[in-house]
Amino acid sequence: MSKPLRYIVVGAGMSGILAAVRLKQQGIDDFTVYEKGESIGGTWRENRYPGLTCDVPAHNYTYSFAPHAGWSAFYAPGPEIRDYFEKVVDDFGVRSHLRLNSNVTACEWDGARWNVEIEDGTKDSADIVIAASGVLHHINMPAIEGIESFAGDMFHSARWNYDVSTAGKRIGVIGNGSTGVQIVTALSQQDCEIVHFQRSPQWIMPVQQFAYSDEDRAQFASDPSRIEALRNGDEYWGGIRRFNEAIIDPDSPAMEEIERLCRENLETSVRDPELREKLRPDYRAACKRLIYSWGYYDAAQRPNVAIEVGRIARIEPEGVRMADGTFYELDVIALATGFRADRFIRPTRVIGRDAIDLDDVWRERPSAHYAVTIPGFPNFFMLNGPTGPVGNFSLIDIAERQWDYIEQLLEPIRSGAKAQVECRSDAFDDYNERRTLAARDTIFGSGCTSWYLDKDGVPLTWPWSYDAFAEAMEKPRLGDFAYA
């Protein structure tokens, strides 16, 4: 006999929408998706900066159950991705389950259910909580002396202020992760002067961007097997496997190939030897999240772009002062300085069995057994939680696999045979020990700073192959769980 369960999903970004659709597809109606923002889309709602593009191929950054023939280009621009999620919400009939402007401040397990509090005072409860709150949403404001004294306009990349015109302005972009690189590439083609401040130059993997024609789109629409061929084809998955081999074995031929391509890109694309040396990183390729770009080196060589790799001493009312005394007068500063990647569902207070506080469990570092469950937190599941695969992968594929895994864990509860499931502490500890050990040997631990590292400098990432991740998600190791 199946038992009707109530679900609460925290977050209406890519993972939360996935959870909503998959629940709906199973005929489950008793669920609510709480979203702190005023609209859906998560990272694609927050980020609206010029040049925003997803560097995972569009047809792979798409739900398996909602192929989309209409992508305009091989790599989709951010606004299209936002529209895609809106369409999925409508096409799959989950909009009525969304509660926007509803920041979940607390989730507390009372021994049988999760009691959830929303910032506006609303209370709710459910048998199951799905934490789909995303990773990169707490912005990192850099601790640069004098930052508050800047007299011009300043905003973080995830708070881009389009009320501020960039036309004819002197713009400083601080940070050169995937975001800073996309911003500078886009702005370089506009009527403005840019200084790109790079604390650490980045390796750039050359990729080709191209538009899909109307004919391409018509063919995708009339023959979905063309989309499937792109999604499942060797070109994409071969690339993922090679990239993955490189991450987990920094001495592999795959890693050598990545390094060669990045080095060649620098040598052949940047003509001025002085600029070339400025742009040369002093750590290994893919140590930080590898930047895929089809235009950055061109942008860096345009006359309206200056590259500064020195140390910023302070920000003054009129601009940025470097440690060597150089001063850049600026009208606008865009902070492409990334996110605090160790937060996940926090600052929401999550209190599990026996009043365990998630903040205490995660004091050393955030972790979840196979990135999904945490001992002491029954019926609480994470999508894209800590220690999942990161790199240049589709987080949609990752979340879909995690959802299939969660469903299997839920089977005995849905059938009414059991009421709770929780990961065992010994299984969690064993996973953490093996994961941490393996993670140190990945390319991410090869000697650079990045948001992949925990406070002890250990990569907080999935350290094994993507195939191993897919296999782990295919079937939970039931011995790792306690049902009650």
Using CB under 6 A, list all residues that contact ligand NAP: 53-56, 136, 142-144, 157, 174-180, 182, 199-200, 289, 312, 336-339, 449, 451
Structure tokens at 258: 């990545």
Give the β-pairing of 128-131 and 7-10. parallel
Residue closer to ligand NAP, measured from CB, 9 or 58: 58
- Give the nearest distance from C-beta 339 to ligand NAP in angstroms: 6
What one-letter code names the amino acid at 244?
N
Q: Which residue has the tokens 């990752």?
A: 398
Nearest-approach distance from CB 394 to ligand NAP, in angstroms: 9
> Shortest approach of ligand NAP to residue 464 CB, angstroms?
19
Examine residue 412 and say whether the peptide bond preceding it is cis (omega within 30 degrees of 0). no
Any idea what the Cα angle at residue 345 is, between residues 342 and 348, rounded to 5°?
115
Contacts of 244 (CB under 8 A, 6+ apart): 391, 465, 466
Place of tokens 């097997």: 225
How many other C-beta atoms lie within 10 A of the C-beta of residue 474? Answer: 11
For residue 59, the minimal CB distance to ligand NAP (Å) is: 15
The end-to-end CA distance of the chain, in Å, is: 17
Q: Of the two residues 181 and 382, which places its CB atom closer to ligand NAP in the complex?
A: 181
Task: Give CA–CA dist 18/35, Å, rounded.
Answer: 14
CB of 369 to ligand NAP, least distance (A): 23
Q: Is 322 helix (H, G, I), strand (E, B) or coil?
A: strand
CB of 338 to ligand NAP, least distance (A): 3
| Nearest distance from C-beta of residue 16 to ligand NAP, angstroms | 18
Nearer to ligand NAP (CB atom), residue 55 or residue 397: 55
Helix segments in 114-252, DSSP class H: 178-187, 214-222, 224-232, 234-248
Tokens standing for residue 224: 């979905």
Q: How far is the CB of 56 from ligand NAP (least distance, A)?
A: 6
Q: Which residue number, 18 or 136, has a Cβ lying nearer to ligand NAP?
A: 136
**267-297: burial string, b at 16+ Cβ within 10 Å, e else:** eebbeeeebbebbebebbbbbbbbbbbbbbb
Residue 392 beta carbon to ligand NAP: minimum distance, rounded to whole angstroms:
8
Residue 9, amino acid? V
d(C-alpha 428, C-alpha 212), whole Å: 45
Complex with ligand NAP: residue 344 or 380, whichever CB lies closer: 344
Least distance (Å) between residue 386 CB and ligand NAP: 14
Q: In what order do the strands lie in the sheet with 104-109?
A: 123-126, 114-118, 104-109, 349-351
Q: Which is nearer to ligand NAP, 108 or 298 (CB)?
A: 298
Return the number of the residue (132 or 144) whose C-beta is nearest ligand NAP: 144
Judged by CB, which is closer to ligand NAP: 378, or 385?
A: 385
CA distance 330 to 382: 43
Q: Which is nearer to ligand NAP, 177 or 476 (CB)?
A: 177
> φ and ψ at 389, to 5 degrees?
-65, 135
> Measured from the CB atom, is 275 or 419 closer to ligand NAP?
275
Calculate helix-pair angle for 395-414, 466-474, nearest 10 degrees. Answer: 20
Nearer to ligand NAP, 62 or 157 (CB): 157
Minimum distance of ligand NAP from residue 49's CB (angstroms): 9
What are the backbone dihedrals phi and psi of residue 286, each rounded to the nearest 5 degrees, phi first? 70, 5
Q: Which residue has the tokens 């995303």?
A: 134
Separation between Cα atoms, residue 389 and residue 240, nearest integer Å: 12
